[in-house]
Amino acid sequence: MGELTLDLGAVLLLALGLKGLAKIRTARTANGLAALALVLAVAGLLLQQGFDGWPWMLLGLAAGGGVGALLAYRVAMTAMPETVALFNGCGGMSSLLVAIGAAQLPTPLSLIGQISVLASVVVGAITFSGSIVAMGKLQEWLGTPAWTLRPQRHAVNIATALACLACCALVLKGFPLALVPLTILSLLLGVGLTLPVGGADMPVVISLLNSYSGVAAAAAGFVVGSELLIVAGAMVGAAGLILTQVMCTAMNRSLTSVLFGGALGGASASGEGGGSAKDEGYKNVTSCSPEECALTLEAAERVVFVPGYGLAVAQAQHSLKELARLLEQHGIAVSYAIHPVAGRMPGHMNVLLAEADVPYDQLIEMEVINPDFPRTDVVIVLGANDVVNPRAKSDPGSPLYGMPVLEVDQARSVFVVKRSLGSGYAGIRNDLFELPQTSMVFGDAKQVLQGLIQELRALGVGKTALAGAAR
Amino acid sequence: MSTDLGSAEALWVLLLGSLLGLELIGKVPPTLHTPLMSGANAISGVTLLAALALIGAAPSPALRLLGAVALGFALFNVVGGFLVTDRMLAMFKRKESN
């Protein structure tokens, strides 16, 4: 009876936790509730089966929990996508190992149990190897080898999948040793499916693999006969699917084109008439110094920053926050325009700015801020490129065409802080740079921002307010 | 490790759990996409229950070791996932608290 109460409590808390995670005010509590749910679930299970084998349990707890906690506290926020991928892959590995173990138990499995073992092995292995490849690509340890972009890769993947099915059939016919090739082939399939995906699309893949690891957990639930595990796995699997869909919509990509279309800006970008950055040099580009930019800023009433991943790589979030504070003290309205895919995964830029203490209600979503750009005096683009490219609206031949962008070209003046005129992540020419109201400020984002702060201080900005509000 | 779960019953559980998951996440503000993904990912480490069950049912030290390794991977997912999500969410502040 006791364990039933605990199990029901755990399911309830998990549902509340997942729901609460989708709202800002409740998210942190919800995360705690979900963690508590897992504690209850473990308590229920131990109450039911006893503490047989506790030294092994402690061993797993100390090793896995310890390393996990250490990584969680030390990892840099810029590396969040690859961290999630790593955690996720290990969840898949766990389901894979449990299924292999369950197949070795002396008690024979029912047909559903056997099928669940197979599902757990296949999905767990794909989740593991796929997540590790995703992590490697995000860390830039792995590139996209040209051979993976050939159309033959689909044939190879389909052949691997068929071979997996054949191994499954062998296991069901009574050849348990076929689990060995099944595991290896499934691991290869995970690599084959993930390796061709371009870096910009990787978050979608991680989200999808996150959904898979829920499916693998549910399958493991069938194997060990735990309804709680089935519910929890199914819930995460389904929720992960929805989240994947939400991300695809935000990036204007379909799931099939992410999985089977190859890298954005790879074959499609350079091949067509859209004109790649390498072929056409930029003409009529104006560049200016931080002094000129500071003078324009000082006279502005409404300033919008467009931060991109380049800002985070330069570790310039804190300088940006300092500049914003200075402008606010001067009575200038400051906000941040956040594109849905700013950073390396949806919502990543919000996390990176939150780390620099930027209040989240100053971060404005694209649909909300786009109508405001015509009333904006100065836009400063920092380390963002493709998400402000007007070509996404005007040029049907461009690979970006159709992607919703921040319409910064509507603002009175635009400053683009960039190291050089190189192309963006997707390798596509940006028409914004050639517009008459655009000036390029060449340099490292952090140095430019600190230069701007110095120039503004020299102009007397912030002095009066600083005397008033001694923070 | 009881595998005597009625299979029809288990399939119902699977179906209802999936439907619940589809309903729980409808509109997510973009600010929360990354933390939500990370939190959901931590929950998927719930497979640690299966690892515990395997350790409990395993007749040999080799299988128990396998269970312990599986448990370690799952707990790495769970503990790391929840803590890193909390670390992210702790940083979100409104303007008043500035």
Same domain, A331 and A216: no
C-alpha distances out from residue A2 to A6, A43, B2, B46, B53, Å? 6, 10, 17, 20, 18
A275-300 pLDDT tens trace:
333 445 677 788 888 889 999 999 99
pLDDT of A264 above 50: no
Choose among B9, B41, B53: nearest Cβ to A210: B41
Same domain, A247 and A389: no
Taking the C-alpha atoms of residue A194 and residue A131, their distance in angstroms, rounded to an integer, is: 8
Q: Structure pTM?
A: 0.85
The pLDDT of residue B63 is 94
pLDDT of A253 above 80: no
Cβ distance B35 to A351 less than 8 Å, yes or no, reads yes
The pLDDT of residue A427 is 64
Residue B70 lies in a domain: yes
Residue A284 lies in a domain: no
pLDDT of A1 above 70: no
End of a domain among A260, A276, A307? A260
The pLDDT of residue A212 is 93
Same domain, A326 and A196: no
pLDDT of A267 above 70: no
Q: Structural domain of residue A428, as residue ranges?
A: 290-468
The pLDDT of residue A463 is 66
C-alpha distances out from residue A372 to A76, A184, A212, A320, A432, Å? 33, 54, 40, 21, 18
Residue B76 lies in a domain: yes
Structural tokens at position A92: 């898949």
Domain tally, chain A: 2
pLDDT of A398 above 80: no
Taking the C-alpha atoms of residue A300 and residue A459, their distance in angstroms, rounded to an integer, is: 14
The pLDDT of residue B6 is 67
**Residues linked to residue A417 through DSSP beta bridges, in sequence order:** A382, A441
Same domain, A201 and A76: yes
Active site residues of A: 386
The ipTM is 0.91
Judged by a CB distance cut-off of 8 A, whether residue A368 touches chain B is: no
Cβ distance B28 to A22 less than 8 Å, yes or no, reads yes
User: What end-to-end distance do the CA atoms of chain A give, in Å?
Assistant: 57
Judged by a CB distance cut-off of 8 A, whether residue B12 touches chain A is: no
DSSP B60: S
Judged by a CB distance cut-off of 8 A, whether residue A180 touches chain B is: no
Same domain, A297 and A256: no
The top-scoring range by mean pLDDT among A3-12, A257-266, A272-281, A418-427 is A3-12
The pLDDT of residue A261 is 60
Mean pLDDT of chain A: 86
The pLDDT of residue A138 is 86
Q: Residue range A232-261: average pLDDT?
A: 82
Same domain, A211 and A329: no
Share of chain A above pLDDT 90, in %: 49
The pLDDT of residue B98 is 41
User: What end-to-end distance do the CA atoms of chain B give, in Å?
Assistant: 53
The mean-pLDDT minimum among A20-29, A157-166, A187-196, A254-263 falls in: A254-263
Answer positive or negative: Cα dihedral of A29, A30, A35, A41.
positive
End of a domain among A243, A260, A277? A260
pLDDT of A66 above 50: yes
**pLDDT band, very low/low/confident/very high, at A50 (cuts 50, 70, 90):** confident
Residue A39 lies in a domain: no
Share of chain A above pLDDT 70, in %: 92
Burial class (CB in 10 A: 0-12, 13-18, 19+), A165: middle
CATH number at residue A443: 3.40.50.1220
Residue A52 lies in a domain: no
Judged by a CB distance cut-off of 8 A, whether residue A23 touches chain B is: yes
Taking the C-alpha atoms of residue A232 and residue A107, their distance in angstroms, rounded to an integer, is: 25
Strands A378-382 and A302-307, sheet pairing: parallel
**Residues linked to residue A336 through DSSP beta bridges, in sequence order:** A305, A363
pLDDT of B58 above 70: yes
The pLDDT of residue B52 is 94
Same domain, A234 and A302: no
Mean pLDDT of chain B: 87
Choose among B34, B66, B74: nearest Cβ to A351: B34
Q: Tell me if A121 sits within 8 A of A99, measured CB to CB.
A: yes
What amino acid is encoded at A69 in this protein? A
Count of CB pairs separated by less than 8 Å, A with B: 419
The pLDDT of residue A167 is 95
- Distance (Å) from the alpha carbon of B8 to chain A's nearest alpha carbon: 10
Residue A55 lies in a domain: no
Judged by a CB distance cut-off of 8 A, whether residue B83 touches chain A is: yes
Cβ distance B44 to A214 less than 8 Å, yes or no, reads yes
pLDDT of A87 above 90: yes
CA A161 to chain CA centroid, nearest Å: 27
The mean-pLDDT minimum among A180-194, A301-315, A340-354, A391-405 falls in: A391-405
Residue B89 lies in a domain: yes
Enumerate residues 326 to 355 of chain A having a beta carbon within 8 A of any beta carbon in chain B.
338, 340, 343, 345-348, 350-351, 354-355
Residue B4, φ and ψ in degrees, nearest 5: -90, 20
Cβ distance A94 to B70 less than 8 Å, yes or no, reads yes
Judged by a CB distance cut-off of 8 A, whether residue B8 touches chain A is: no
Q: Structural domain of residue B39, as residue ranges?
A: 28-97
The pLDDT of residue A367 is 87
The pLDDT of residue A470 is 43
Structural tokens at position A218: 């549910």
- What is the 3-state secondary structure of chain A? CHHHHHHHHHHHHHHHHHHHCCCCCCHHHHHHHHHHHHHHHHHHHHHHHCCCCHHHHHHHHHHHHHHHHHHHHHCCHHHHHHHHHHHHHHHHHHHHHHHHHHHCCCCCCCHHHHHHHHHHHHHHHHHHHHHHHHHHHHCCCCCCCHHHHCCHHHHHHHHHHHHHHHHHHHHHCCCHHHHHHHHHHHHHHHHHHHCCCCHHHHHHHHHHHHHHHHHHHHHHHHHHCCHHHHHHHHHHHHHHHHHHHHHHHHHCCCHHHHHHCCCCCCHHHHHCCCCECCCCCCCCCCECCHHHHHHHHHCCCEEEEEECHHHHHCCCHHHHHHHHHHHHHCCCEEEEEECCCCCCCCCHHHHHHHHCCCCHHHEEEHHHHHHHHHHCCEEEEECCCHHHCCHHHHCCCCCCCCCCCCCHHHCCEEEEEECCCCCCCCCECCHHHHCCCEEEEECCHHHHHHHHHHHHHHCCCCHHHHHHCCC
Residue B58 lies in a domain: yes
Q: Residue range B7-18: average pLDDT?
A: 87
Taking the C-alpha atoms of residue A432 and residue A384, their distance in angstroms, rounded to an integer, is: 12
H/E element, B82: helix B61-90
**pLDDT band, very low/low/confident/very high, at A204 (cuts 50, 70, 90):** confident
Chain B CB contacts of A235 below 8 Å: 17-18, 20-21, 24, 43
Residue of chain B whose alpha carbon sits nearest to that of A235: B21
Taking the C-alpha atoms of residue B37 and residue A402, their distance in angstroms, rounded to an integer, is: 26
Burial class (CB in 10 A: 0-12, 13-18, 19+), A275: middle
**pLDDT band, very low/low/confident/very high, at A314 (cuts 50, 70, 90):** confident
Residue B71 lies in a domain: yes
Residue A398 lies in a domain: yes
The pLDDT of residue B30 is 78
3-state secondary structure of B85: helix
What amino acid is encoded at A51 in this protein? F
Residue of chain B whose alpha carbon sits nearest to that of A104: B63
Cβ distance A65 to B65 less than 8 Å, yes or no, reads no
Same domain, A209 and A89: yes
Residue B20 lies in a domain: no
Q: Residue range A28-55: average pLDDT?
A: 92
Residue A450 lies in a domain: yes
Same domain, A307 and A218: no
Choose among A210, A225, A239: nearest Cβ to B1: A225
Give the burial string for A254-273 (b: 16+ CB within 10 Å, else e). ebeebbebbbbbbbebbeee
The answer for A424, left when phi > 0, alpha when psi is -120 to 50, beta otherwise, is beta
Same domain, A81 and A185: yes
Domain tally, chain B: 1
**pLDDT band, very low/low/confident/very high, at A178 (cuts 50, 70, 90):** very high
pLDDT of A164 above 60: yes
The pLDDT of residue A425 is 59
Burial class (CB in 10 A: 0-12, 13-18, 19+), A365: middle
Residue B23 lies in a domain: no
Taking the C-alpha atoms of residue A282 and residue A415, their distance in angstroms, rounded to an integer, is: 16
Name the more confident of B69 and A342: B69
Judged by a CB distance cut-off of 8 A, whether residue A16 touches chain B is: no
Judged by a CB distance cut-off of 8 A, whether residue A38 touches chain B is: yes
Q: Tell me if A186 sits within 8 A of A125, measured CB to CB.
A: yes
pLDDT of A460 above 60: yes
The pLDDT of residue A471 is 42
Name the more confident of A259 and A15: A15
Name the more confident of A214 and B8: A214
A35-45 pLDDT tens trace:
999 999 999 99
Answer positive or negative: Cα dihedral of A423, A424, A430, A433.
negative
The pLDDT of residue A464 is 57
Residue B9 lies in a domain: no
pLDDT of A258 above 90: no
Residue A12 lies in a domain: no
A90-128 pLDDT tens trace:
999 999 999 999 999 888 888 888 999 999 999 999 999
The mean-pLDDT minimum among A193-197, A283-287, A428-432, A467-471 falls in: A467-471
Angle at B40 between CA B39 and CA B43, to 5 degrees: 90
The pLDDT of residue A415 is 94
Q: Residue range B40-62: average pLDDT?
A: 93
Same domain, A135 and A237: yes
Residue A7 lies in a domain: no
